């Protein structure tokens, strides 16, 4: 708890705050060009400013990149301790993305070694299936 509070105080630049606010408001994965047009009214006009802010926010664990969609989503766990080790479930039908927070899975992955002895320090996993609300239709 104390750690979480300290982590929340990681300072963000003005641009990073604007970009993070926008992504958090959307509540679903959002592509860079949508972010770009969304933050224009807040005074960020140059694409490099947005890309730089996105890179930093990923580094700080505030947002994650959904590689298969080339989009960005706010961290749902709250400042991931391991921003480069994340897992998501993605619905094939409605494309809803949920960040997976399963300690058993993370423990398995951090203990896992491949045949060449490589330990996985980072991963960006995406699991595909059908979510409950799509199954109900
Ligand atoms: Zn996260
Ligand atoms: Zn669905």
Residue whose tokens read 């930093």:
56
Quick check: 51 and 32 in contact, CB under 8 A?
Answer: yes
Quote the ligand 1 centre to 106 CA distance (angstroms).
Answer: 13
* CATH superfamily, domain at 85-135: Ferric-uptake regulator, C-terminal dimerisarion domain (3.30.1490.190)
**Residue extents of the structural domains in the chain:** 2-74, 85-135
105 Cα: distance to centroid of ligand 2 (angstroms): 22
As a whole number of Å, the end-to-end CA separation of the chain is 40
Pick the CATH number of 2-74 from 3.40.50.2300, 1.10.10.10, 3.40.50.620, 2.60.40.1180: 1.10.10.10
The C-alpha angle with vertex 121 and arms to 118 and 127, in degrees rounded to 5, equals 100
- The Å distance, Cα 1 to ligand 2 centre, comes to 33
Ligand 2 midpoint to CA 67 (Å): 18
H or E segment to which residue 92 belongs: none
pLDDT tens, per residue, the chain with 137 residues: 445 444 555 689 999 999 999 999 998 899 999 999 999 999 999 999 999 999 999 988 899 999 999 999 999 887 676 667 899 999 999 989 999 999 899 889 989 999 999 988 888 999 999 999 999 98
DSSP annotation of 47 reads H
Q: What is the Å distance from ligand 2's center to 118 Cα?
A: 35
Q: Do 89 and 49 contact (CB within 8 A), yes or no?
A: no
User: What is the predicted pLDDT for the residue at 1?
Assistant: 47
Distance from the alpha carbon of residue 87 to the mean position of ligand 2, in angstroms: 17
**CA 24 to centroid of ligand 2, rounded, Å:** 20
Please tell me the distance between residue 128's alpha carbon and the centre of ligand 2 in angstroms.
10
């Amino acid at each position: 708890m104390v750690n979480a509070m300290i982590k929340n105080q990681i300072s963000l630049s003005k641009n990073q705050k604007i970009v993070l606010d926008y992504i958090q408001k959307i509540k679903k994965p959002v592509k860079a060009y949508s972010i770009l047009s969304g933050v224009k009214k807040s005074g960020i006009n140059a694409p490099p400013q947005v890309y730089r802010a996105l890179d930093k926010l990923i580094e700080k664990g505030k947002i994650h990149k959904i590689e298969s969609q080339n989009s960005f989503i706010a961290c749902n766990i709250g400042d991931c301790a391991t921003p480069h080790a994340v897992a998501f479930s993605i619905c094939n039908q409605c494309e809803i993305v949920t960040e997976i927070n399963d300690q058993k899975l993370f423990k398995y992955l951090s203990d896992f070694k491949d045949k060449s002895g490589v330990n996985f320090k980072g991963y960006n996993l995406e699991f595909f299936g059908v979510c409950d609300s799509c199954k109900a239709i």
